[in-house]
Structure 1
Amino acid sequence: AFTFGWIADRSNGMTALLLNALLHVGSWLLMLASEGYTTAMLAAALMGLGGGGLTVAISSRLAEMYEPQRFSQALGLALALNMPFTFGAAPLLGWLYDTSGTFDVGLMTLVSAYIISTVLFIYLLQAAKKPAF
């Protein structure tokens, strides 16, 4: 969490979100490729770094977008919208494992979702730099 707060303080919330998404892509790919305990634990540690920093990155971006009196409403809505993904991921991955017989399908699903998020963050970061008119 401190890492992504530091990043957001020195750049902006969207950059923190982008770097967080890239960290998730890398950590899940590392987990997918890991064949030993050490590599799997490194991947898990990187996932923890990204997971712990996600709320900080989201909060930072929302603070940039909304005035203080609207921030708590925006954060509450953002976290509520995130909840189905948080609680739905484990059952989905379990079902994918049961139907495919391997964790690779589920891990690639997660990596794909993070890649899509990263592309969207890059697009939004570039769109934010362009003048509206």
Structure 2
Amino acid sequence: MLNFVDLYEGKELEPLVKPAVTKVQLVKYAGASGDFNPLHTDDEFAQSIGMPGVIAHGMLVMGFLGEYVNRLAGETAELTNFRMRFGAITRPGDQISCSGKITSLYEEEGQQFARLELSAEKAPGKVVGSGQASLRFF
């Protein structure tokens, strides 16, 4: 959980390392999201279209970054803006590490905000998602 008074531009934030993605997780996410594209659940189908096997839903990775930002916000802030771009594919066995850095601190109408740069990597330098978020502090 972040406190505005402890933040500064360029501060690297404590990462969140997720357990390795599993095929069971992909099937459960398909059910939760309604995205039953066999690319995410059927290795044979995925291989038939040139993939090495099933791949994770991009929105699952976005969910990991969303979880990360909300954990950072805790009860001291709320998410006010969140954008993400997808990078490399995520496969079963990949362990995703979410990290962030403070890019700016500012005040607007008497409220304090922090802008964050976000990254989700499956290995150093292998970005599967990147984005930005803003937190409004209470």
TM-score, normalised to structure 1, is 0.29
- Higher relative strand content: 2
- Higher relative helix content: 1
